[in-house]
Amino acid sequence: MTLYSMIRDIYKHSELHKINPAMESIEKYKHLSQSRKDMLRVIYGHMDYRIHELLPPNSRYVTLMRNPVERVISHYHYVRRTANDPLQELAMRSSLDDWVAQCNLNEMDNGQTRRLSGSPDSVRFGECSAEMLEWARHNVQQNFALVGITERFDETYGLMSKMFDWPIKSYLPKNVAQQRSSIKEIPVRTIRLIEKFNTLDMELYEYATRLFAERLGQTDIENEIRLLKEKRENPFMLWGDAASQYAKEKLRKWLKV
C-alpha cells in the first residue's frame, strides 16, 4: 500500500489502472477500450504473473517480496482488522496456528510462489510443487526488471527511482498495523508451522534476496538514499511531500466518485 501511494503521487490519474485479485478486476481490464489502454503507463495491484499474457510485450515488471513468516503473520492480522473482508469472521475465531494449517487458504500455502510462477488458481492448498518454484525462480530472474524486498524498502525505492526516473520523496507508511504480534512474540512452534506450509516461499525469498544484493552491487544509489535521508530530516520537505501525497489521494478518490 505504501508503494501504491507513491505511484499515485508520481503518475497522473489517467495513466494508472489498478487490478485487484478478484477475477472481475481482470475482466474489467480486458474490456477497457484500446484507446484507454494506450494511455496507461502503470498497472498495479495484487495479481499474479499471468497478467503478462494481457499486457504489451515491452512491459516491465516489478514486485516486492516479503519474508514469508512476516507475510503470513501480517495477512492474518490484516484480515482480523478489516471489517469488510469476507474472511474476517473466520480469522477472528481462528488462532494463528489454525489460520495457517486448518483453514485451507491458498495465500497461506506458498502464496508468493503461486503468484510469481503464474500457476493457475486450480492448484489447491497443499499441492504446490517444486516445478512451480522453478518457474517462479525463472520468472523473477529473467522476466522482472526488479524484485524488491519489503524489509529493504528504502533501497528498493532507490533502485526504482534510478530505473524509472522517479523523483525522491519522503513517503508515509500505509496500511501498517499499529497493534500486531511481533515475530519475536510468536512461539517457535508457530514459526516452524508457518515455515512448513511455506517451504517453497522460503527458498524463493532467499533466492530473491541474493538477486537483490547483486543488483545493489551493480547500481549506485548512494545519492538517492542520501536525498531520502535529507528529506526525512527536514521538516519542511517532509511536510511538503506529505501534503502533496494527501492532496493527490483526495483528488484520486474524488475523480473515482
pLDDT at residue 175, as a whole number: 55
Q: Which of 254, 133, 149 has its CA nearest to residue 204?
A: 133
**pLDDT beyond 80 at 241:** no
Tell me, what's the pLDDT at 239? 66
Asked whether 237 and 168 are in contact (CB, 8 A), the reply is no
Q: Residue 236 has what pLDDT?
A: 67
Cell of residue 111, nine digits: 502464496
Residue 251, C-beta contacts closer than 8 angstroms, at least 6 positions apart: 13
Residue range 60-69, pLDDT digits in tens: 999 999 999 9
pLDDT value, residue 110: 96
176 pLDDT higher than 60: no
Chain CA centroid to CA 239, Å: 26
Overall average pLDDT of the 224-230 stretch: 92
Q: Which of 239, 250, 252, 65 is nearest to 169 (CA)?
A: 239
Q: How many domains does the chain have?
A: 1
Higher confidence at residue 108 or residue 250? 108
pLDDT at 254: 72
Whose CA is closest to 44, among 2, 7, 85?
7
The reported pTM is 0.87
Answer whether 68's CB lies under 8 Å from 207's CB.
no
For residue 99, the enclosing domain spans 2-256
Per the prediction, the chain carries an average pLDDT of 89
Angle at which helix 199-218 crosses helix 130-142, to 10 degrees, equals 20
Query: Stretch 131-141: mean pLDDT, rounded?
Result: 97
CATH number at residue 162: 3.40.50
For residue 255, the model assigns a pLDDT of 67
Band (pLDDT 50/70/90 cuts) for residue 231 is confident
Which whole number is the average pLDDT over 36-58? 93
CB 2 within 8 A of CB 170: no
